[in-house]
Chain A
Amino acid sequence: MKELIKSLVEAFGPSGSEDRVRDLIAAEVGKVAREVRTDALGNLIATVGSKGAGGRRVMLAAHMDEIGIVVSHIDAKGFVRFGGVGGVFRLALIGSRVRFADGRIGVIGSEQKRVEGDLPRLDQLFIDVGAKDRDSAPVKVGDVACFDRPFVDLGGRLVAKAMDDRIGCAVLVQVLKELGETPHEVHFVFTVQEEVGLRGAQTSAYGIDAELAIAVDVTTTGDTPEARTMAVSLGSGPAVKVKDRGMLSHPGVRRWLVETAEREGIPYQLEVLEAGTTDAAVMQTTRAGVPAGVLSIPTRYVHTPSEMVDYEDVLGAVRLLVAALRGPAEIG
């Protein structure tokens, strides 16, 4: 599974430009799924199984897009000004490299004339693409770029850009491959534009009209030095979400995931996230309401070029979802 993770996290795919990630995933799921299609917004939907006794129409979602930057202006000397695509932290940008769709690299510099010690504003940062002037700049206004950072396997822990949420995509691909018999009609949805407002999930959830919905996404942890209080740590198992800024999980879905983990002996944690949200927030409020929950992969340094996950947590998430989906969904 590490090979799959490596290929997914290293792929280029800021919000709105997810096609390469989609191609990679489509190639993986094409042979296994009953049907694979791409909807109008670009969500990739792979379907397996059909509703049997106790079965439901299930939507699983992981987002393909990652945060990035978009070129807004190129000055006479060839320096590139940019805006953020999704929640880009200035602190994570300084000294970073970005990669454009054609593979070109730019480095992020900052204006030196500013208040000493202050964090530069986004408009005080620029990208140097190695151009001598505007005409020789190899990029144009509107081009998008993602962080440039290779995947690293530290043994038990994996580090890369875009773990948020390619790790979720990898989990779903693996679940699809391992699932086999299921009483449910399961739609694996690889969503677009999560980082800019859960937009792919909003439309795909409406289209699928699911009876049960689960998002697989990253969550932050409270296990680093002087971290904010949060009882989630790397290596303690996938996290079953109770609450984040955008949703309160359906109690029945939460219980079903917890009971499955306990029955299968899979370590798990309960998660209360005080910032951020996932695709499940809009899946839950689709149409007349959908029972929705989230299985999270604990991740350190979210929205930086070095997001870190624990491989055992990832494998645990796959096992938990496979075990849950092989049986009926007892969500009360």
Chain B
Amino acid sequence: MKVAEFLKRITEASGVSGAEGEVGTIVAETFRTLADEVRSDVMGNVIALKRGEGLPSGEHPRVMLAGHMDEIGLMVTKVEDGFLRFTTVGGFDVRTLLGQEVLVHGRRPLRGVIGCRPPHVLTPAENERVVPLQELFIDVGYEEEPLRELVRVGDFVTVRREQIELAGGRLAAKALDDRAAVAAIGFCLDLLKKRRHQWDVCAVATVQEEVGLRGAITSAFGVAPHLGIAIDVTFGSQYGVPEYETVEMGGGPPIGLGPNFHPKVHERLVETAKALEIPYQIDPIPGRSGTDAWAIQVTREGIPTALLSIPLRYMHTPVETVDVRDIERTGHLMAEFICGLDETFASELGVQVRRLNGQGGPTCC
């Protein structure tokens, strides 16, 4: 799989939290070529099953991989005098909204721009401040009347941005948080096609992470995995951010360490990376990880959970930047880890490998 090509298709697709249909279709289409079954659930999570050979006992424990496909975006709150007022869906960096080109998902898609008052008419004090969300508006070109026909309160808005290749194997795009992880999962599934593994793999492109891990809450319940790995992005080294708050760009996947993560799973991921000389980093997270791992861990009777991250610069802006090698290494590490999952590891984790019968059981597998 060519990571940059797959990424281009999914980062340029629209998929604000709660409206992941467009990107979900592309992800499902791609996963269908890499897995045995693909379905989506009530929330819109795309769930792919790649069957393993099973344990010698005949049981099929499941590992869930979760990367969220929703992106932060905007939503129309009011049509006012020919302009659109809006709010954010997820934590969009409001400083970066001025002057952006957007797509308004109305009765038909409408291109628009986020305008502002010209600098010439501002007082020096106004010139110094960030324009607050309440003063921003979208202009699609229409006057009030046709606009009201085409756009309604609650319509989603995405920022438009083409993915570009930077020098040195780096890419800039919108929505790399967290479609870089979806690409890493795709890369992993692709590697697994040529490999033997005992455990089943449930790869989930989750929805609504940016508004509260909601897709992970429901998909983890539905999949009922015996082990969960969330893949998300974290702060890559950049100008103006202290070294101790970042990880190295191109340094390989940071592996989460802390209460959100099962120590044995963490240890096994580190051992796997060492054995195969896959660059990795250690990412200590003292509490709430803010990722799908946080929701997965406390699903049902509890799930041993891990987190792999992809270093990313300029988070929650339309120019998020990653190193493609980090994505590939994340996928590679996951694939090798999965191939090493066996009966012994299942019993080391203390997971009850049993079939869940009837209602509420795993519908993916």
The answer to whether A274 touches B77 (Cβ under 8 A) is yes
For the complex, is B359 an interface residue (Cβ under 8 Å from A)? yes
The answer to whether B154 touches A270 (Cβ under 8 A) is yes
The answer to whether B75 touches A284 (Cβ under 8 A) is no
The CA-CA distance from A94 to B124 in the complex, in Å, is: 40
Most A-side CB within 10 Å, residue of B19, B41, B42, B217: B42
Which of A272, A274, A288 is within 8 Å of B363, CB to CB?
Answer: A288
On chain A, the residues within 8 Å of B237 by CB distance are none
The answer to whether A287 touches B221 (Cβ under 8 A) is yes
Which of A242, A246, A251, A274 is within 8 Å of B153, CB to CB?
Answer: A242
The answer to whether A272 touches B212 (Cβ under 8 A) is no
The CA-CA distance from A300 to B78 in the complex, in Å, is: 18
The answer to whether A248 touches B42 (Cβ under 8 A) is no
The answer to whether A274 touches B87 (Cβ under 8 A) is yes
Given contacts A209-B359, A274-B87, contact A289 B218 (CB under 8 A): yes
For the complex, is A235 an interface residue (Cβ under 8 Å from B)? no
Given contacts A272-B154, A288-B42, contact A231 B77 (CB under 8 A): yes
For the complex, is B179 an interface residue (Cβ under 8 Å from A)? no
The answer to whether B77 touches A248 (Cβ under 8 A) is no
On chain B, the residues within 8 Å of A228 by CB distance are 134
On chain B, the residues within 8 Å of A287 by CB distance are 218, 221-222, 360
For the complex, is B258 an interface residue (Cβ under 8 Å from A)? no
On chain A, the residues within 8 Å of B79 by CB distance are 231
Q: How large is the interface on A (under 10, 10 to 19, 20 to 34, 35 or more residues)?
A: 20 to 34
The CA-CA distance from A228 to B133 in the complex, in Å, is: 12
Q: How far is the CB of B362 from chain A (nearest CB, A)?
A: 9
On chain B, the residues within 8 Å of A274 by CB distance are 77, 87
The answer to whether A248 touches B87 (Cβ under 8 A) is no
Chain A residue, CB-CB nearest to B153: A270
The CA-CA distance from A222 to B80 in the complex, in Å, is: 13
The answer to whether B360 touches A288 (Cβ under 8 A) is yes
The CA-CA distance from A67 to B79 in the complex, in Å, is: 34
On chain B, the residues within 8 Å of A209 by CB distance are 359-360
The CA-CA distance from A270 to B152 in the complex, in Å, is: 8
On chain B, the residues within 8 Å of A229 by CB distance are 77-78, 80, 85, 134
The answer to whether A289 touches B77 (Cβ under 8 A) is no
The answer to whether A230 touches B77 (Cβ under 8 A) is yes
On chain A, the residues within 8 Å of B360 by CB distance are 209, 287-288
The CA-CA distance from A259 to B18 in the complex, in Å, is: 20
The answer to whether A231 touches B153 (Cβ under 8 A) is yes
For the complex, is A164 an interface residue (Cβ under 8 Å from B)? no
Most A-side CB within 10 Å, residue of B18, B43, B77, B222: B77
On chain A, the residues within 8 Å of B363 by CB distance are 288
The answer to whether A289 touches B78 (Cβ under 8 A) is no
Q: How far is the CB of A291 from chain B (nearest CB, A)?
A: 6
Q: A229-B78, A270-B152, A289-B43 are in contact. List 8 more A-B contacts (CB 8 A).
A: A209-B360, A231-B79, A248-B17, A254-B154, A272-B75, A274-B77, A287-B221, A288-B41
- A residues with CB within 8 A of B: 209, 222, 228-231, 242-243, 246-251, 254, 269-272, 274, 284-285, 287-291
